[in-house]
Structure 1
Amino acid sequence: MMESNNSAINVDQLIKKIREEVAHRQPISERNLETIKVVSVNQTLTLSHIENLLHNAQLKSQIRTEFPKKLNRFPFSLSQPLQKLALKLYSFLFKEQRAINFSLIEAIRESLTLNRKLIDQVMDFQGQVMDLQGQVMNLQGQVKEISAYLTATEKHLNEQLQAMDEHYIKNDSYLKNDLTQQKRLITLFLEAARQRLPESFTVDQLQTLSNEEPHQLDAFYVAFEDQFRGSREEIRNTLNVYLPVIEDAKLGTPESPILDVGCGRGEWLELLRESGYSARGIDINRVMLEQCNTIGLEVIEADAIAYLQNLPDHSLGAVTGFHLIEHLQFAVLMKLFDETMRVLQPGGLIIFETPNPRNLFVGSGDFYRDPTHVNPIHPDTIAYIAILKGFMNAESYFFAEQDNGLQLLASSNVKFDTLESYLSISRDFALIGYKP
């Protein structure tokens, strides 16, 4: 029974100790058992051979009653009386030697009997040893199973701990962001109230407080994106596919900067900066903007349409938006195209990425996981709108895995003639178009 003040058991050290003990033990194999059996058989054969030798020696130590047959031939042949006399003389001369030989033979025979009993006892002991070895082998198998179970348990615990850590980190981040927004709103309210006391709020002050209401969900949406959109690294790897498009268009210089509308956590802006392009982003989510500011990205809190309306004509090289247009009402979407066409320089381009409703999983339900989505947009529809608004070479592109990585695949080259084609098509697509 463990005392209450004992130190906590270190599971990692215990598992390591068991593994080392199993590794250092010499395994007992079937070959070891067979070797024991062969040794026992060899010992039995040796005793039988000794008994045969003793029997032969005993026969030769007895008194001779006949003259050796080989001495009955010429020139050793003797008459019967001489043979008897020779046998009596031989027996008399070697009488003591026969006695000694007989005693030695009896002693060896007794020793042989004792050895046989000892061998029987040893074989019985070996049988017990073999039984114990079988038990040890069984225990070794159990130890291996326990070791495997401990390994699996350790892995499972580590995975659970990692999942719990990620869960608590996400919750902690959400709570901190949400508290920051609530604190900002309360501070703003208290400051406005302090300035007006003892008078009531003015219309402008009430409007300022009202404008803060949409930001109450900023922290929630950041946590939602972290859960379902994917990690920053995953998004960066996907967005890499657009860098050749920017490079081919010769855009992203200080004279033809890139504007990322709805920049979110700033993965695209970060990629553009690392590639040496001039870019800035706008968003209305303050928590995401704060994340962008933390890594030194140029971002502004602004509504997309209002910001574009305040820009001069031909002031941008490209306008991009990733998972933005599905959040817009149709009338707002049309305004986005109008203002984008106006602010782009000749040869400028647009890139708008959005969920692909032609993918059966997205169109049948996954699109509606995000409560801020308005409507899915068909690839043909958005391409038609772009062309109608004056963009050239406007086409929707799906994503395709190739040997050299992710590639853009023009929608005009894709046929939807089987169920598999609707299941395997990429979950997102992008509209790319150019201003004449």
Structure 2
Amino acid sequence: MKIPMNRIKAAIRKTPLFGPLKWLAALLGRSSYPLSFSHTLPAEPFIDRAIARIGKNPDPARREEEFYSYFSEIWAEGYEKGLTQQYTAYLPYIPKRSDLPFLDIGCGAGEFIQFLSANGIRAQGIDSNSKEVARAKEYGLEVNQADALAFLQEQHACFSGISMLEVIEHLPPESLVSLLSSIFKSLAPGGVLLLETINIKHPLAFHSFYCDPTHTRPVPSDLLVFLLQWQGFTCVQVIYTNPVAFSYQQRADPSRAYFSYAVLGIKPTLSI
């Protein structure tokens, strides 16, 4: 008895293996869902979206200076919710100390500082971009314009914690070691360091990385873990956030299923 092909295909679609096999077939160029030769999509209204969020048009005389402030606001509606989820994942690791502030380096308009303050954590920030600092001050935040390395060299054991969220990929690779050394000295004993960046093991990482013209080089998690351990941080761990998995295999491997990662380390309370 010959079984009709349509019945065979219907039976295959009901099996647990159909999803992974369809994904594999697409990779091998044998997908049963062919694409048309061309496809046109309307462009995203990036400029209009940025203007709506900032509340004013860019100044024609200061377009170069204002570029990054507007560029950082182009993402689709709902990304603020993702930021809140991300910050919430970090909250259990952030110390609450009334005697020492928490410092956010490269704080931008102060989103993370606002979140920490709303959760009872005394926080302040620095950023090299004058426009971002001005925006943060409009929200009443304690933010100053400063170069991170120069600022930290004047601090000693005076912060309960320091964060750099989506910052290290902007830095020249050769400056990272000296910056981490200065951060270590600026933290009080028991202080935490939180470094977040793009997870380059994720399939979409490079699209996001090269979408920002100010990025210099992606930083793998293994390198960042070693650098923290080298500086003397203990209890180093990797926190993955923003799950975007495309396959069963990817879901089983957190290092490939999450779009972002952060490395957390603690300055020892005793010299080692």
Q: TM-score, normalising length from structure 2?
A: 0.72
Within a 5 Å distance, the mapping from 1:341-420 to structure 2 comes to: 341-363=184-206, 365-399=207-241, 418=249
Q: 8 Å contact 1:355–1:367 — kept in the other structure?
A: yes
Q: CA RMSD in A?
A: 2.8
Does 1:227 find its partner at 2:74?
A: yes
- Distance (whole Å) between structure 2 residues aligned to residue 336 and residue 382 of structure 1: 13
Relative to 1, partners in 2 of residues 1:270 and 1:351: Cα closer, same or farther, differing over 3 Å? same
- Distance (whole Å) between structure 2 residues aligned to residue 287 and residue 305 of structure 1: 20
2:265 counterpart letter in structure 1: G
Distance apart, 1:255 and its partner CA: 1.8
Misfit runs of 4+, over 2 Å:
166-179, 228-234, 251-254, 417-424
Gaps of 5+ in 2: 1-41
Question: For 1:431, which of 229, 250, 263 is the aligned residue?
Answer: 263
Q: Deviations over 1:151-194 (max 9, x none)?
A: xxxxxxxxx9xx97x85353475973434x73xxxxxxxxxxxx
- Distance (whole Å) between structure 1 residues aligned to residue 192 and residue 129 of structure 2: 25
2:147 corresponding residue in structure 1:
303
2:167 corresponding residue in structure 1:
324
Distance apart, 1:366 and its partner CA: 2.6
Question: For 1:338, which of 159, 171, 181 is the aligned residue?
Answer: 181
Alignment: residue pair count = 219
Distance apart, 1:341 and its partner CA: 0.7
Relative to 1, partners in 2 of residues 1:423 and 1:393: Cα closer, same or farther, differing over 3 Å? closer
Name the SS for the 1:395 alignment partner.
Answer: strand
Name the SS for the 1:342 alignment partner.
Answer: helix
Q: 8 Å contact 2:169–2:197 — kept in the other structure?
A: yes
Relative to 1, partners in 2 of residues 1:291 and 1:347: Cα closer, same or farther, differing over 3 Å? same
- Distance (whole Å) between structure 1 residues aligned to residue 202 and residue 112 of structure 2: 24
Distance apart, 1:254 and its partner CA: 3.6
Question: For 2:91, which of 208, 222, 243 is the aligned residue?
Answer: 243
- Distance (whole Å) between structure 2 residues aligned to residue 382 and residue 229 of structure 1: 30
Distance apart, 1:419 and its partner CA: 5.8
Q: 8 Å contact 1:174–1:220 — kept in the other structure?
A: no
Name the SS for the 2:161 alignment partner.
Answer: strand
Distance apart, 1:396 and its partner CA: 1.9
Q: Deviations over 1:86-112 (max 9, x none)?
A: xxxxxxxxxxxxxxxxxxxxxxxxxxx
**Which protein shows a greater Rg?**
1
Question: For 2:112, which of 268, 272, 279 is the aligned residue?
Answer: 268
Within a 5 Å distance, the mapping from 1:145-156 to structure 2 comes to: none
Identity of aligned residues (%): 27
Name the SS for the 2:72 alignment partner.
Answer: helix
Greater share of residues in strand: 2
- Distance (whole Å) between structure 2 residues aligned to residue 178 and residue 396 of structure 1: 41
2:198 counterpart letter in structure 1: P
Q: Deviations over 1:222-281 (max 9, x none)?
A: 2211114874443223211111111xxxx3424221000000121110011111111100
- Distance (whole Å) between structure 1 residues aligned to residue 255 and residue 267 of structure 2: 34
2:50 corresponding residue in structure 1:
170
Q: 8 Å contact 1:361–1:423 — kept in the other structure?
A: no
1:392 counterpart letter in structure 2: T
Distance apart, 1:332 and its partner CA: 1.2
1:408 corresponding residue in structure 2:
none
- Distance (whole Å) between structure 1 residues aligned to residue 121 and residue 111 of structure 2: 14
2:174 counterpart letter in structure 1: A
Q: TM-score, normalising length from structure 1?
A: 0.46
Distance apart, 1:425 and its partner CA: 1.2
- Distance (whole Å) between structure 2 residues aligned to residue 308 and residue 351 of structure 1: 16
Distance apart, 1:418 and its partner CA: 4.6
2:13 corresponding residue in structure 1:
none
2:50 counterpart letter in structure 1: K
- Distance (whole Å) between structure 2 residues aligned to residue 178 and residue 332 of structure 1: 33
Distance apart, 1:395 and its partner CA: 2.2
Greater share of residues in helix: 1
Say which is worse superposed, 365-374 or 380-389, in terms of deviation: 365-374
Gaps of 5+ in 1: 1-159, 183-215, 402-416
2:15 corresponding residue in structure 1:
none
Relative to 1, partners in 2 of residues 1:229 and 1:264: Cα closer, same or farther, differing over 3 Å? farther
Q: 8 Å contact 2:49–2:74 — kept in the other structure?
A: no
